[in-house]
């Protein structure tokens, strides 16, 4: 192999390693999942150029929870999110530097068809979540005769509002039609 190509490959791998390592040790945006829960926090700017950076942590958490629910399903630990025990806190809203902590606990269910393997949310800062719109967006991911399981509205004193949503994934739980 050409020496220039080898050097380029090692350079790119080196850069990727540093980026991955820095993301791993960055305590400002961490998510940890176990077989019982996913939790983490975002610490940083609320908004950058009008983009809601802090609230994007809900997107990242939803993706990780969905992955973990599928992983638990595949090993026979049928689970769903325990909506009643979700913990959601914010500190520093309006200061330009917010800490958003989120804990999404799981509860075990009896059968694979009682489990949920997909997870999402709808919400934002200081406005009522567009739940009707989100339901329409998710309509196509549902199996026939299935309904979304939606949490009560969760709020922080600083104005973050979220509905958390779970359902059976069409592919992972295709046997549950």
164-176, pLDDT tens digit by residue? Answer: 999 999 999 999 9
Number of domains within the chain: 1
Q: Is residue 18, in this structure, part of any structural domain at all?
A: no
**Is the residue at 98 inside a domain?**
yes
**DSSP per-residue codes, 49-116:** TTEETTTHHHHHHHHHHHHHHHHHHHTT--EEE-GGG-EEEEE-TTTT-EEEEEEEEEEE-SSTTT--
What does pTM read for this prediction? 0.81
Residue 118 is assigned to a structural domain of this protein: yes
d(CA 39, CA 87): 9
Please report whether residue 61 resides in a domain. Answer: yes
- What are the residues facing 126 on neighbouring strands? none
pLDDT of residue 26: 47
Structural domain includes residue 115 = yes
Q: Which domain holds residue 68?
A: 28-176
Residues of the chain with pLDDT under 50: 4-26
Give the largest CA-CA distance in the chain. 60
**Has residue 12 been placed in a domain?**
no
Specify if 16 maps to a domain.
Answer: no
Asked if residue 87 is part of any domain, the answer here is yes
């Amino acid at each position: 192999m050409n020496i220039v190509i080898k050097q380029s490959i090692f350079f790119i791998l080196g850069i990727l390693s540093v980026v991955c390592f820095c993301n791993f040790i960055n305590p400002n945006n961490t998510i940890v999942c176990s077989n019982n829960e996913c939790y983490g926090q975002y610490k940083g700017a609320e908004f950058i150029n009008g983009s809601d950076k802090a609230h994007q942590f809900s997107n990242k958490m939803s993706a990780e929870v969905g992955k973990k629910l599928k992983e638990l399903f595949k090993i026979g630990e049928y689970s769903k999110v325990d909506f009643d025990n979700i913990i959601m806190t914010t500190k520093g809203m309006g200061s330009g530097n917010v800490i958003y902590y989120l804990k999404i606990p799981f509860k075990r269910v009896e059968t694979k068809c009682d489990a949920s393997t997909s997870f999402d949310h709808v919400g934002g800062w200081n406005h009522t979540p567009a739940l009707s719109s989100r339901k329409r967006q998710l309509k196509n991911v549902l199996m026939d005769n299935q309904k979304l399981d939606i949490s009560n509205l969760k709020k922080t004193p600083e104005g973050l509002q979220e509905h958390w949503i779970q359902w059976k994934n069409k592919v992972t739980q295709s046997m549950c039609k």
